[in-house]
Amino acid sequence: MSERYPGYDVLAKRGTPSWNEQTRRVIDQRLALPREPRFFGAEEFRTLEAVCARIMPQPRSRPPVPIAAMIDAKLREGRGDGYRDHRLPPMGEAWRHGLHAIGAEAQRRHGARFDALEPAEQDALLQAAQDGRLAPAAWQGMDCALFFAKRLLPDIVTSYYGHPAAWSEIGFGGPASPRGYVRMDFDRRDPWEAAEAKPGHERDAARDNARVG
Amino acid sequence: MRRRGATPALRDAPRALGTAGAMLALSALADSAVEHYRGSFHNKFMYLPLGVAALTLAACAREAAGARARPRSSSIDRLAMATGIVGTGFHVYNIGKRPGGFSWLNLFYAAPLGAPGALLLAGLLHRIGARLGEGRRDICGVRAGPALAGLVSASLIATSAEAALLHFRGAFQNPAMLIPVTAPPVAAALLARAAVTPQRHHPGTRWSLRLLAAVGLLGSGFHAYGIGRCMGGWRNWSQNLLSGPPLPAPPAFTALAIAGLAALGLIEKERR
Amino acid sequence: MRRETMRVSDDPERTPRGKGGRAPDVFQPGGWIPMREYEDGERVDFAIVGTGAGGGTLACRLAEMGFSVVAFDVGPWWRPLEDFASDETHQQKLYWTDERICDGADPLVLGANNSGRSVGGSTVHFAMVSLRFRPAWFKARTLLGYGVDWPLDWREMWRYYGEVEQALKISGPVNYPWGPKRPRYPYRPHELNAAATVLAKGAEAMGIAWAPTPLATVSAPRGNSPPCVYRGFCVSGCSTNAKQSALITWIPRAVRAGAEIRDLAMVGRIETDAASGRVSGVHYHREGHWRFQKARNVVVAGYAIETPRLLLNSASARHPDGLANGSGLVGKNLMVQSNQAVFGTLDEEVRWYKGPPSLAITEHWNYADQGKDFFGGYCYMSQGALPVAWSGILAGRGLWGEKLRQEMENYNHQAGLKIVGEVLPDERNRVTLAAEKDRFGLPVARVTFSYGENDRKLIRHALGFMRQSLEAAGAREVWDQEDDTCHLNGTARMGNDARSSVVDADCRSWDVPNLWVCDGSVFPTVGGVNPSLTIQAIACRTADRIRALAARGEL
């Protein structure tokens, strides 16, 4: 649950005119995603989960969005972006190289697996990758800064914000068909939109959000 | 209760005007409730027309049922008229303060310019009806028939203009949307002519007003159809009742038609 | 995994819907309309490759004129009312997701901004912005001193723009602030959302005009289309059919006029007759097999990457450098439009997810020639990115961790201004064939792009101006999105001279008289407005020209 939008859950609208049948099908599938990897090996997946936890830290107040599993599913389906920067290999290959390289760097720096490092050590390693400061040998010719900017970061972040829990967190209206929106002006919300908690009036927002539907 | 000191013609007019006033007040109540709810009652004054319209509706309904107007109903009428005028001021401000000022875009989507006028008219018609019921034969120095006819004519033009604006916004996508921009001006013109010609009987004018009364009710039917045509239809009522065509608006024409028929009756009887 | 709950026979991405003498009725859940079908061996008048703004429009107009038409699209035939979910990730099925390689100094990002794959093409996912060219742009070289002149007259195009605006019932302002007088838009403009009001306030603060954007989505009922419900998922596909995409306008008209549309049909090669050098038909892959459709004329309308790719892949002994490539220009002069933006945070709730993403626009810098240190123009529009897209934009700033989460929590307070900016033609920007093959065994496209100096000056000017404007409208923490492009044009340009162009003013290729190109590839310059209206206008004109040529026996 979000502090900004206390008690707001887009899933509460699942049975309302805001959701159509196809949307229910699609979101149900997303929520039922298997957590075990089918593209990555076990070790790669452990590294990926640890990377996701640092790139996209999640609130402890709710079950975590299974970002790693979502990326695994995307790579297994082979549903690409429809283009590729020529300096990067295709996405599945890029991810494998990247995760191995991150694992190798963790060993080189700390003599341990990436997922066994302290959060601060993990962050430092990831920052170095973003800055392009990691030794190229482990990256098999792939530019680590480019991989970070074009694959690692966007894939993790867009997976997270493609999940209903994240929509509730940021107060997004969520699915909207056939029912869209009436009030489009500043500081106006329809009763089926998220209510933002104003300082000192958090209970009002929570009460409004309980009625969203 | 029989009125003393009133001629037979005047006996009917107050009741008709009470009916017209009640219909306008009901339309204003329902319309302002929906539209101000859509506006989130963001300004606390937006509650006022609901209360005033309800009071006006109650006052007019008594008159419509045949009772004589109570003395304090004149304050309700004045309150209704003042609210209508002040409301128009608020609406003008709402339109003008947006980027683009009095642009087509803001006329389409900001507060509707003519809407508070319904309350002004409700109070005015009721007041006129009450004074006629008391035995008065003129309004502001003009004989009652032509004065009322003039008022109703002008109101019909204004209401038709409001419908024209919103139907223009709807691109006149359905031919029926032309009805409220044609029938009311025709009735208004005929009524105005009836007020000034020496002719005794006006059957054409009477029929155009009766037709207009039907148009007002038909309009709500068309608007209901229009809501059904929006995405999700009536199942999506929580959106479409607000963003679809306004159900309570068209009966304003019925109300004015009733007032117009009362005016016509007065004119014809005054010519005898 | 996506398809687990759908029967394979229902899945428009697996099984063609345009067959068996019928086509989907996009307005009736589960409904069908009759569709004429042609035998492969029947030599149809026109085989059209691609059914988007160019191919869909042309298929409709030619069929209505009585020509026999078969149009092919590799994309699925969607039923928007049933197939479209309110979910950005799922709806990526509308975008071209087969591989393309991007290089150059500024490698392009493809997908949502410029590459659709559907019957109806990119109009199924586009943002509906429907703008006319500034008339002077048709003579950019002569009148404005840059680029090249088009072989078209603006007054003729003005008429065709009107025809398209009527066909799509464009919802636009009662008075348009820029350019010569135009007929009133058929439908009235949409209400501004808060994000659009930010643009308006900012424009007023800068002393420039603004307008509600002319959009191809209806503001009142139209036939079977309900008015827009302002759900905001426009670029992920309109599930209410308010959006007047080619899929719900030109295509149904085309089918009713006797055209056949073949979905899930990838045209891989255009066949030419060895003796005459004329085209004789198209090889296409559908339902697991390669087939060949005979045709008297072939129109290529695959948009600016697939069109040159197909022409290059159709090389033969007679046309060793690719079909219609006597000028050597097929694939060259690729132009995108710059799509940079400024974003900021407001104290008020904006909730920009409500309504079409770009409800307000200013074309001031398309029509003002003073105060610029660059050639060409740009418009800019208000923004409304949904969460997945917005998170991708923030990721583009390099934000991650708690910083990113906190930024994202401000989602309902964001406003933005984004340009559609002119990029000049440069032969070094091009589409060529890569060594890699796609799932059909065809060489994939390599897309090479670098900005030029003029392009960068325009971008700098735009970012500076928009920043001022956004701040004047009350936004704080304003930042620049510097890395984004949109649209694709130029790779089969039209011109008056066979040495410097691929097709003539009628979109007919110089080299092969029965080969035509009718899409954004034909633009010699790209202007500072979204191309869809111009592409459709060119298609309407091309149809008229074809009718005139046929009447004179010159086809």
Chain C, nearest residue to B174 by Cα: C221
pLDDT in tens, A194-206: 999 999 999 999 9
* B78 and B28 inside one domain: yes
Asked if pLDDT for residue A104 goes beyond 60, the answer is: yes
B43 touches chain A (CB under 8 A): no
pLDDT at C9: 62
> In 3-state terms, what secondary structure has residue C549?
helix
Are B232 and A179 inside 8 Å of each other by CB? yes
Maximum Cα interatomic distance, chain C, rounded to a whole number of Å: 71
Contact present, C419 and C382 (Cβ < 8 Å): no
Residue ranges of C 147-186 with Cβ closer than 8 A to chain B: 169, 173-175, 186
Of B118, B136, B154, at which residue does a domain stop? B136
CA B182/CA C75 separation, integer angstroms: 49
Residue among C467, C348, C375 nearest C419 (CA): C467
The pairing of beta strand C44-49 with beta strand C289-300: parallel
User: Which chains are adjacent to chain C, needing at least 3 Cβ pairs under 8 Å?
Assistant: A, B
The residues with which C24 forms a beta bridge, in sequence order, are C32
Are A157 and C391 inside 8 Å of each other by CB? yes
Q: What angle (nearest 5°) sits at the alpha carbon of residue A196, between those of residues A193 and A198?
A: 155
The shortest C-alpha distance from B89 to chain C (Å) reads 22
Of B96, B118, B136, at which residue does a domain stop? B136
End-to-end CA separation in angstroms for chain A: 17
Q: Looking at per-residue confidence, does C109 or A70 come out higher?
A: A70
Are A183 and B38 inside 8 Å of each other by CB? yes
Q: Retrieve residue C483's tokens.
A: 């890395």
* B143 and B267 inside one domain: yes
The contacts of residue C278 (CB under 8 Å, 6+ apart) are: C272, C512, C513, C514, C515
> In 3-state terms, what secondary structure has residue C541?
helix
The shortest C-alpha distance from B232 to chain C (Å) reads 9
What backbone torsions phi and psi does residue C345 show, to the nearest 5 degrees?
-115, 140
* Long-range contacts (CB closer than 8 Å, 24 or more residues apart) made by A46-51: A46/A113, A46/A114, A46/A115, A47/A99, A47/A102, A47/A103, A47/A113, A47/A114, A47/A115, A48/A72, A48/A95, A48/A99, A49/A115, A50/A114, A50/A115, A50/A117, A50/A122, A51/A99, A51/A102, A51/A114, A51/A122, A51/A126, A51/A152, A51/A156
Contact residues, chain B, for A191 at CB < 8 Å: 238
* B65 and B161 inside one domain: no
* B183 and B270 inside one domain: yes
A17 touches chain B (CB under 8 A): yes
Are B226 and C201 inside 8 Å of each other by CB? no
pLDDT at B271: 80
Contact present, C537 and C160 (Cβ < 8 Å): yes
* B22 and B98 inside one domain: yes
Specify the residue for token string 């988007």: C52
pLDDT at C98: 87
The contacts of residue C329 (CB under 8 Å, 6+ apart) are: C427, C492, C493, C500, C501, C502
CA C485/CA C108 separation, integer angstroms: 7
Q: For B169, which of C188, C222, C242 is closest by C-beta distance?
A: C188
Contact present, A26 and C85 (Cβ < 8 Å): yes
Are C221 and B226 inside 8 Å of each other by CB? yes
* B131 and B150 inside one domain: no
Asked if pLDDT for residue B9 goes beyond 80, the answer is: no
A191 touches chain B (CB under 8 A): yes
> In 3-state terms, what secondary structure has residue C347?
coil
pLDDT in tens, B209-219: 999 999 999 99
**What is the pTM (predicted TM-score) of this model?**
0.96
pLDDT in tens, B171-206: 999 999 999 999 999 999 999 999 999 777 889 999
CA C103/CA A174 separation, integer angstroms: 36
What backbone torsions phi and psi does residue B176 show, to the nearest 5 degrees?
-60, -20
* B14 and B130 inside one domain: yes
Of B90, B121, B136, at which residue does a domain stop? B136
pLDDT at B4: 52
Read off the amino acid at residue A152. Answer: L
Chain B, nearest residue to C205 by Cα: B99
How many CB atoms within 10 Å of residue A211?
A: 11
CA C438/CA C432 separation, integer angstroms: 14
Q: What percent of chain B has pLDDT over 90?
A: 85
The residues with which C479 forms a beta bridge, in sequence order, are C343
Q: Retrieve residue A177's tokens.
A: 């068909």
Asked if pLDDT for residue A1 goes beyond 70, the answer is: no
The number of angstroms, rounded, from the C-alpha of C172 to the middle of its chain's C-alpha atoms is 19
> In 3-state terms, what secondary structure has residue C280?
strand
pLDDT in tens, chain C (555 residues): 344 444 546 899 999 999 999 999 999 999 999 999 999 999 999 999 999 999 999 999 999 999 999 999 999 999 999 999 999 999 999 999 888 999 999 999 887 777 899 999 999 999 999 999 999 999 999 999 999 999 999 999 999 999 999 999 999 999 999 999 999 999 999 999 999 999 999 999 999 999 999 999 999 999 999 999 999 999 999 999 999 999 999 999 999 999 999 999 999 999 999 999 999 999 999 999 999 999 999 999 999 999 999 999 999 998 999 999 999 999 999 999 999 999 999 999 999 999 999 999 999 999 999 999 999 999 999 999 999 999 999 999 999 999 999 999 999 999 999 999 999 999 999 999 999 999 999 999 999 999 999 999 999 999 999 999 999 999 999 999 998 999 999 999 999 999 999 999 999 999 999 999 999 999 999 999 999 999 999 999 999 999 999 999 998
Q: For C87, which of A23, A57, A193 is closest by C-beta distance?
A: A23
* Residue C554, Cβ density class (10 Å: 0-12 exposed, 13-18 middle, ≥19 buried): exposed
* B3 and B132 inside one domain: yes
Q: Please report the number of interchain residue pairs, chain A to chain B, with beta-carbon separation below 8 angstroms.
A: 29
Contact present, C70 and C44 (Cβ < 8 Å): yes
ipTM: 0.97
The residues with which C286 forms a beta bridge, in sequence order, are C289
Q: CA-based Rg of chain B, rounded to a whole angstrom?
A: 19
Structural domain containing residue B29 = 1-136
Specify the residue for token string 């307070």: C413
pLDDT at C3: 42
Contact residues, chain A, for B98 at CB < 8 Å: none
Contact present, A183 and A206 (Cβ < 8 Å): no
Residue ranges of A 122-141 with Cβ closer than 8 A to chain C: 123, 126, 130
pLDDT in tens, A116-168: 999 999 999 999 999 999 988 888 889 999 999 999 999 999 999 999 999 99
Dihedral sign, Cα of residue C406, residue C411, residue C417, residue C423: positive
* B130 and B192 inside one domain: no
Q: Over C495-509, what HEC string results?
A: CCCCCCCCECCCCEE
The residues with which C22 forms a beta bridge, in sequence order, are C19, C34
Is the bond leading into C76 cis (omega within 30 degrees of zero)? no
Q: How many domains, in total, are found in chain B?
A: 2
pLDDT at A135: 81
Count the residues in chain A: 213
What backbone torsions phi and psi does residue B123 show, to the nearest 5 degrees?
-65, -40
pLDDT at A194: 98
Q: What angle (nearest 5°) sits at the alpha carbon of residue A39, between those of residues C7 and A132?
A: 130
Q: For C398, which of A56, A130, A182 is closest by C-beta distance?
A: A130
Are A82 and C233 inside 8 Å of each other by CB? no
Render the burial of A106-140: b for 16+ CB within 10 Å, e for the rest: beeeeeeebbebeeeebeebbebbbeeebeeebbe
pLDDT at C6: 47
Q: Retrieve residue C389's tokens.
A: 């897209």
User: Mind giving me the DSSP string for C284-346?
Assistant: EEETTEEEEEEEEEEEE-SHHHHHHHHHHHT--SSSTT-TT-TTS-TTBS-EEEE--EEEEE-
DSSP-assigned letter for residue C143: I
* B239 and B272 inside one domain: yes
Are B168 and C210 inside 8 Å of each other by CB? no
Q: For B173, which of C191, C203, C222 is closest by C-beta distance?
A: C222
Helices then strands, counting H and E runs in chain B, come out as 10, 2
Read off the amino acid at residue C145. Answer: G
* B51 and B79 inside one domain: yes
User: Which chains are adjacent to chain A, needing at least 3 Cβ pairs under 8 Å?
Assistant: B, C
B238 touches chain A (CB under 8 A): yes
The pairing of beta strand C430-437 with beta strand C211-212: unpaired
* B151 and B125 inside one domain: no
Residue among A89, A87, A86, A94 nearest A155 (CA): A94
